[in-house]
Structure formats: structure tokens, C-alpha cells
Homo-oligomer: A and B are copies of this chain.
């Protein structure tokens, strides 16, 4: 992925974890990340759908963690922003070529075992582990 969604999501969750149980507004969060508030709201919505965040509408509204940071794995965050393919997109090879015809199947299974390794590694750390590194 060439986008910054993982970094953005992690930043959002770090802020929420650090200022728990305060409700933080998307404008405040966007100011810290230095991106557009609409992007933040979209990502918050997504993290909400994945059960990591709770939001409250209306005046004095905002967002907070849906569960303690010790219960949020970094792999949960990855899964929430997971790109279609970790190692990039595949091509649409020539079906007339015996290699071209088969390669995407093999690439797919390769990608999924590679991603599995990544998820295992990310799953070994919690959001709390990550935020504790901040001085």
C-alpha cells in the first residue's frame, strides 16, 4: 500500500489511548496528524466498524477507545486498514501462456502466507505496548 492509513489509524488510536477516557474530536486529531479532518472521520468510522473505537455525535462529542489498549493488538489495526494485497497488486497475465495462466493462483497463496507471518508478528504487540514507548 502506498497510502498512509496504517500510520493514520495507529496515530488516532495512540492519541485516544494516551488521553483516555477523554473524547477527542476529529479536528483535534487531524491537527496532531496534520491531515484533513474528513479523512480522520472516515478512518474513525472504519475503526468503529471494527470494534476498536466508540464515537459520540453532537456537541462535546468525539471518540474514545472501545476497549482497553492492552486488549488491542497491532494486528487488529492492520486488519482494519488491510489493503487488498500487502505485496502489491498482481498483473492480468496472458492466459495463452502456460505460466501466465497459472501464476496468479500461486502468487495469491504466496501472498497469504506472507501476510500471515506479518499478522503474527503484529499480533505479538498490543496498542498499550506501543503507546508505552512514548516518553
Contact residues of A with B, CB < 8 Å?
A: 1-8, 10-11, 14-15, 18, 31-35, 74, 78, 83, 86-94, 97-100, 102-103, 106-107, 110, 113-114, 116-118, 120-122, 125, 130, 133-135
Contacts and interface: CB of A to CB of B under 8 A. Distances in A.
Given A1-B1, A2-B89, A34 B100 contact: yes
Copies in the complex: 2
20 contacts: A1-B87, A2-B89, A7-B87, A7-B107, A8-B91, A10-B103, A11-B93, A11-B100, A15-B99, A32-B93, A32-B94, A32-B100, A34-B91, A34-B92, A78-B87, A86-B118, A98-B134, A114-B121, A117-B117, A117-B118
In terms of DSSP, what is the predominant structure of the interface of chain A?
A: helix
Given A34-B94, A106-B133, A88 B3 contact: yes
A18 B8 CA distance: 43
A117 B106 contact: no
A18 B99 contact: yes
A91 B121 contact: no
Given A1-B88, A118-B114, A121-B114, A99 B6 contact: no
A7 B99 CA distance: 13
